């Protein structure tokens, strides 16, 4: 149609040479590439193509990486909307890596930029060029998947050897030279959480206590019930590495013992409903609120499990909260069965039933003695 105005296509010419040899010549390889590209752009003048004066020349840079100054400037100008067409002498001038080439094409597509190789009849403005590009990108996708499988296999093999493979660093550890090392201060907090959960049997109760004491996690956040459950289920604290549910001996040191782990997980085997019911029963202990240590610390009802048997205790809040106490503070934990039984027996003796009291005391002796 007469008078129709062609759309102006701004063409950026990119050139690259791997070695610096010959770059000091008056007419070097980069100049030769640019001359050929300028000639191609001139042949497309009827289509509205015009070469930009800005030069994007990478002399002495390998095509195996995208870390090239002129290429970075080219991408920045593309993102700024200053370029419509990329023109190169050969595809490998832009990149020798199929993966990198696919990344560049994603940038081009996102900004509506087309790509032309003047010596290989590669032009994404044509249907054949787009078909060729899709084939190349399919191979790039295949290469990505193969690399992903290789990485997953390597990751699995490394985990089986107990190696730390990165990710979120658990509380109680730091990473040095790609290995987990114990952080003494955090490790003490981790052990305290395990031991107090074993004594209390309730993550909710423990979370409230830790929040009241302003105990923080590795990221400085207040500890909630969810964090406690994740922590006490993390086998890294046993010195193990876990991959897809299977544990392997780790290269790092353990923070807690197998005995403490077993004590905690014997509690977790019970349903939350059973634990709530037992906690309610524990809270109804006869001496709750009226039994204290020599230092005045309250003795609160707790329990622990050994095998299939459940043992109830009165435990000092100093012990539960990991507070320092005097060496002569007296028993820190007492058998609830023995203490309650002694109280019941004494009450029965007072009301005139000494023979019953004797049988009760004898029966309670078999359950346990005071524990320090």
SS (H, E, C) the chain: CCCCCCCCEEEEEEEEECCCCCCCCCCCHHHHHHHHHHHHHHHCHHHCEEECCCCEEEECCCCCCCCCHHHHHHHHHHHCCCCCEEEECCHHHHCCCHHHHHHHHHHHHHCCCEEEECCCCEECCCHHHHHHHHHHHHHHHHHHHHHHHHHHHHHHHHHHCCCCCCCCCCCCEEEECCEEEECHHHHHHHHHHHHHHHHHCCHHHHHHHHHHCCCECCCCCECCHHHHHHHHCCHHHHCEEEECCEEEECCCCCCCCHHHHHHHHHHHCCCHHHHHHHHHHHHCCCCCCCCECCCCCEEEEEEEEECCEEEEEEEEHHHHCCCCCCCCCCCCEEEHHHHHHHHHHHHHHHCCCHHHHHHHHHHHCCCCCCEC
What is the predicted pLDDT for the residue at 1?
46
Checking if the pLDDT of 295 tops 90, the result is: no
Q: What is the chain's mean pLDDT, rounded?
A: 78
Grade residue 52 by pLDDT with cuts at 50, 70 and 90: very high
Q: What is the pLDDT of residues 62-107, one digit of tens each?
A: 877 889 999 999 999 999 999 999 999 888 788 877 778 878 888 9
Higher pLDDT, 185 or 132: 185
pLDDT tens sequence across 105-126: 889 889 989 888 888 766 666 6
* pLDDT over 60 at 348, yes or no: yes
Answer with the residue of higher pLDDT: 362 or 185: 185
Does residue 326 register a pLDDT over 60? no
Q: Over 90: is that where the pLDDT of 206 sits?
A: no
Q: Give me the pLDDT at residue 261, please.
A: 92
């Amino acid at each position: 149609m007469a008078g129709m105005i062609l759309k102006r296509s701004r063409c950026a010419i990119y050139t690259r040479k791997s070695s610096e040899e010959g770059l000091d010549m008056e007419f070097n390889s980069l100049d030769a590439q640019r001359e050929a590209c300028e000639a191609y752009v001139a042949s497309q003048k009827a289509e509205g193509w015009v070469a930009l004066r800005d030069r994007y020349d990478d002399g002495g840079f390998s095509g195996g990486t995208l870390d090239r100054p002129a290429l970075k400037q080219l991408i920045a100008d593309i993102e700024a909307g200053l370029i419509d067409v990329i023109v190169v002498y050969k595809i490998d001038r832009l990149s020798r890596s199929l993966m990198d080439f696919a990344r560049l094409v994603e940038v081009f597509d996102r900004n509506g930029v087309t790509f032309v190789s003047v010596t290989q009849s590669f032009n994404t403005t044509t249907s054949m060029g787009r078909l060729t590009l899709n084939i190349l990108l399919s191979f790039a996708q295949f290469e990505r998947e193969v690399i992903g499988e290789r990485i997953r296999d390597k990751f699995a093999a490394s985990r089986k050897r107990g190696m730390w493979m990165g990710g979120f660093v658990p509380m109680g550890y730091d990473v040095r030279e790609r290995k987990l090392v114990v952080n003494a201060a955090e490790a003490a907090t981790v052990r305290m959480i395990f031991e107090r959960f074993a004594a209390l049997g309730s993550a909710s109760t423990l979370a409230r206590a830790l929040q009241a004491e302003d105990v923080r996690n590795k990221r400085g956040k207040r500890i909630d019930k969810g964090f406690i459950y994740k922590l006490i289920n993390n086998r890294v604290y046993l010195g193990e590495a876990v991959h897809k549910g299977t544990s392997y001996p780790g290269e790092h040191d353990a923070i807690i013992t197998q005995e403490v782990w077993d004590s905690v997980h014997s509690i977790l085997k019970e349903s939350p409903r059973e634990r709530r019911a037992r906690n309610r029963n524990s809270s109804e202990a006869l001496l709750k609120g009226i039994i204290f240590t020599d230092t005045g610390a309250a003795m609160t009802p707790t329990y622990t499990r050994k095998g299939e048997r459940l043992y109830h205790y009165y435990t000092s809040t100093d012990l539960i909260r990991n507070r320092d106490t005097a060496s002569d503070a007296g028993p820190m934990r007492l058998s609830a069965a023995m203490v309650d039984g002694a109280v019941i027996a004494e009450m029965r003796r007072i009301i005139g039933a000494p023979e019953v009291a004797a049988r009760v005391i004898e029966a309670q002796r078999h359950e346990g003695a005071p524990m320090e």
